[in-house]
Structure 1
Amino acid sequence: MNKLIMTTALVAAGAAPAFAQVSDDVVKIGILNDQSGVYADFGGLSSYEAALMAVEDFGGTVLDMPVEVITADHQNKADIASNIARQWYDTEQVDSIMELTTSSVALAVQALSNEAGKVTITTGAATTELTGAQCAPNSFHWAYDTHALAVGTGGALVEQGGDSWFFLTADYAFGYSLEEQTSAFVTSQGGTVAGSVRHPLTNPDFSSFLLQAQASGAKVIGLANAGLDTQNAIKQAAEFGITQGGQQLAALLFTLSEVHGLGLEAAQGLSLTESFYWNRDEASAEFGNRFFERTGVMPNMVHAGTYSAVLSYLKAIEAAGTDEASAVSAKLKELPVDDVFAQGGTVGANGRLIKDVYLMQVKAPGESDIAWDYYNVLQTIPGAEAYLDPAESGCPLVQG
């Protein structure tokens, strides 16, 4: 198995007292994501650094026990991710797995973790199934999901007159969920969906898919994909003159990392939805600059969400007085989430963090005054509007 694994232990001086209710006398968190493929910039090793930042900011210990963070590359393959997760649980005493970029991976690891009685907090995957039909008692969805993206970007474009859509969809759970959620929102607002076409993950050539989208005559071509796939689709759409012909591209999952990779010249004017922007306020900028110092990049919502997830997990252990999964999960659902990522956030009975998200528009090159200053914040969307009501999510844990 070709995988990258690293480990960092953050230990305060002094021996841990014997009465601490921490299994194996250490709290161990695993950051499992794509570190070498299409989503490496989207989350990758920068999410690992975000987790380390959270542990350091918390103080390095919880209940007088050390906190350790390990990481591995799942290569966007559910079987590899499941094998790593099983090894972590069975032989490395990992207590919680987080990040989990790629919805198929997140669903597989969440199911395995449920059987093992472990906590998962997904920040990198999007499907609402994680807190819907496949929800689990000790599993949480933190940074964003397909419903929030549909309400944010889809809603904005319909309001602007983009009332007919065609979708280029990544051929796995995330893409299906994003297309389904956005289609439902578009039609609920009186719009129509002309059709869709599915493409494989890590696709180098979008020409045939873009020609189908162009031929549909839809006003908006919804890119229900992410990472390098979205960047490549946008670049190739420009070669076909699609936007010059009057059709608009909707990057339904596009973050600061992808804007940076594409460049302002190509990305300018795109509407997108994120739940964090480093230059939104003073606290965000302070966090962003600290993150940049150690990674060389500014954080997107996945990185900031991972920081928040780790911090919230440690707070929940402290409040519960133990790292036992069900006790910690109860505290995660009870405690408010107030940090640089979420202010006044709450966690629903289905494990969904409910917080504000932001509709952004990518600046033109001449509008950006400093490095990584890429967004104008057009609208704050309240969490109650962005996310499904837990009672309506389809989660069997919730009594509606």
Structure 2
Amino acid sequence: MSRIAHVATICAALAMSLPAYAQTPAAPPAAGKIANDMVKIGVLTDMSGQFSHESGEGSVTAVKMAVEDFGGKVLGKPIEVIVADHQNKTEIAIAKAKEWFDVDKVDMIANLINSAVAIGVAGVAKEKNGIAIINGSGSSRLTGDMCTPNSIHYAYDTYALAVGTGNALIKQGKKNWFFLTADYAFGHALEADTASVVKAGGGSVVGSVRYPINTLDHGSFMLQAQGSGADVIAVAGSGTVFINAVKAAHDFGLTQSGKQSLAGLLVWITDIHSMGLENAQGLVLTNAFYWDRDDETRAFSKRFEARMGRKPHMGDAGDYSSTILYLKAVEAAGTDEAQAVMAKMREMKVNDFFAKNGYIRADGRFIHDMYVYQVKSPSESKGPWDYYKLVQVIPGEQAFRPLSQSQCPLIKK
């Protein structure tokens, strides 16, 4: 997709979702009731495109595991999980969300990787009085100017990624930054949030270049970054394009020179597995979850790997944890009516393998600790998936944008 076409798609999605904010939600079911005698969860994700390794079958598996572990029923009614591939096309995602809420009577839509998709579907959830829980997408606008009373941003966001990785490298004295940025909503937000952290820490942005979302060859971009003299080359992108960028950096000798550091501003452990430690070693990253963090994470990851053939990442863990939270809230509310369930989720604390004392703020942001890691060298790794060493734990209250800086219209200033 060309840059112009992609931008047009995002604009169209926002145009479709924005009017929804003024509309009156549908009438709720009677208290203590489950509409249509079923709670239905829709996993709307990328099943086949460049983000499918960060969502796709993994997100579906995580949601289904949560439903099974909950017992398959809530308030005596069955829980059904349905799946659709949005193909990274915002117009497809919005149309499917409307169909799910109107025709299929879906109560909650999960995952929503691709930030333009997530922003659009969050608007539909508000219009239709459904619920959207976002784990795949990262744009901090989801709890900023595009927040809704019907959506939750759960696993991570661009602000938290920027705070973790940006501050970690600034503290190492690496203050001059160059950005390789994916040219879509998520990439733009990630660059903006990280640049703010860099400048606040006394650093500077010496240059940036934006690459089309489906770029395969990063050679010319990497040469430009290398020639900038920046201390840090920061890749503000995700998926297979991010993997190609890291491989290009290795091919051009950028990481081996010792003069410049490569920062992955959104890194999934599946990315590291795909590119190999030889290419990824030394990469600094921020994450919400690592399978080998403690006994609880290892126990969940063992069960997940038995079904998926790989370790889970923060999106998988977030999809599981947030689905359990949603079902507990339905049970506590005595109904699947969206606002009643949202109110219960905001009251609850989450204490599971994903988060300790996690909670949902008024802007829909799920607050929990974040972690800064560095990728191990091949000699440091003890085997498959042993990829990270802990650099820093960032408390949740420090990891995410403070409400005093929020542009969310739900927050009273």
Tell me whether 1:381 sits opposite 2:397 in the alignment: no
Aligned match for 2:273, one of 256, 260, 281: 260
Counterpart CA distance in 1 for 2:204 and 2:404 is: 28
Counterpart CA distance in 2 for 1:309 and 1:89 is: 19
Determine the structure 2 residue equivalent to 1:355: 368
Q: Is the 1:338–1:345 contact (alpha carbons within 8 Å) kept by the matching residues of 2?
A: yes
RMSD across aligned positions (CA): 1.3
Determine the structure 1 residue equivalent to 2:163: 151
Q: Is the partner of 1:187 in helix, strand or coil?
A: helix
Return 5+ residue gaps in structure 1 as ranges: 1-17
Tell me whether 1:292 sits opposite 2:305 in the alignment: yes
For 1:324-363, what aligned pairs fall within 5 Å after superposition?
324-363=337-376
Determine the structure 2 residue equivalent to 1:277: 290
Q: Is the partner of 1:380 in helix, strand or coil?
A: strand
Tell me whether 1:207 sits opposite 2:226 in the alignment: no
Counterpart CA distance in 1 for 2:115 and 2:85 is: 15
Aligned match for 1:250, one of 255, 260, 263: 263
Aligned match for 1:140, one of 152, 165, 170: 152
Structure 2 CA distance for partners of 1:19 and 1:316, relative to 1, 3 Å: closer
Deviation of residue 243 (structure 1)? 2.5
Counterpart CA distance in 1 for 2:95 and 2:386 is: 40
Counterpart CA distance in 2 for 1:236 and 1:348 is: 40
Deviation of residue 370 (structure 1)? 3.4
Counterpart CA distance in 2 for 1:101 and 1:24 is: 28
Determine the structure 2 residue equivalent to 1:58: 70
Deviations 1:136-168 (A, max 9, x none): 011100000001100111111111111000101
Aligned match for 2:94, one of 82, 98, 122: 82
Counterpart CA distance in 2 for 1:59 and 1:182 is: 42
The aligned length equals: 383
Tell me whether 1:172 sits opposite 2:194 in the alignment: no
Return 5+ residue gaps in structure 2 as ranges: 1-29
Deviation of residue 366 (structure 1)? 2.1
Determine the structure 2 residue equivalent to 1:41: 53
Counterpart CA distance in 2 for 1:214 and 1:258 is: 22
State the identity as a percent.
Answer: 51
Q: Is the partner of 1:223 in helix, strand or coil?
A: strand
Deviation of residue 19 (structure 1)? 9.2
Counterpart CA distance in 1 for 2:296 and 2:252 is: 42
Q: Is the 1:151–1:182 contact (alpha carbons within 8 Å) kept by the matching residues of 2?
A: yes
Aligned match for 1:101, one of 88, 110, 113: 113
Q: Is the 2:32–2:333 contact (alpha carbons within 8 Å) kept by the matching residues of 1?
A: no
Determine the structure 1 residue equivalent to 2:122: 110
For 1:308-319, what aligned pairs fall within 5 Å after superposition?
308-319=321-332
Counterpart CA distance in 2 for 1:355 and 1:168 is: 28
Deviation of residue 337 (structure 1)? 1.2
Q: Is the 1:223–1:250 contact (alpha carbons within 8 Å) kept by the matching residues of 2?
A: yes
For 1:193-232, what aligned pairs fall within 5 Å after superposition?
193-232=205-244
Structure 2 CA distance for partners of 1:64 and 1:391, relative to 1, 3 Å: farther
AA at the equivalent of 1:248: S
Q: Is the 2:370–2:395 contact (alpha carbons within 8 Å) kept by the matching residues of 1?
A: yes
Q: Is the 1:391–1:399 contact (alpha carbons within 8 Å) kept by the matching residues of 2?
A: no
Q: After the TM superposition, which of the residue ranges 118-127 and 204-213 deviates more from structure 2? A: 204-213
Counterpart CA distance in 1 for 2:400 and 2:325 is: 20
Counterpart CA distance in 2 for 1:63 and 1:111 is: 28
Counterpart CA distance in 1 for 2:332 and 2:35 is: 16
Deviation of residue 89 (structure 1)? 1.4
TM-score normalised to the size of structure 1?
A: 0.94
Deviation of residue 340 (structure 1)? 1.4
Deviation of residue 367 (structure 1)? 1.9
Deviations 1:274-319 (A, max 9, x none): 1111110001000000000011010000000000110110011111
Q: Is the 1:123–1:302 contact (alpha carbons within 8 Å) kept by the matching residues of 2?
A: yes
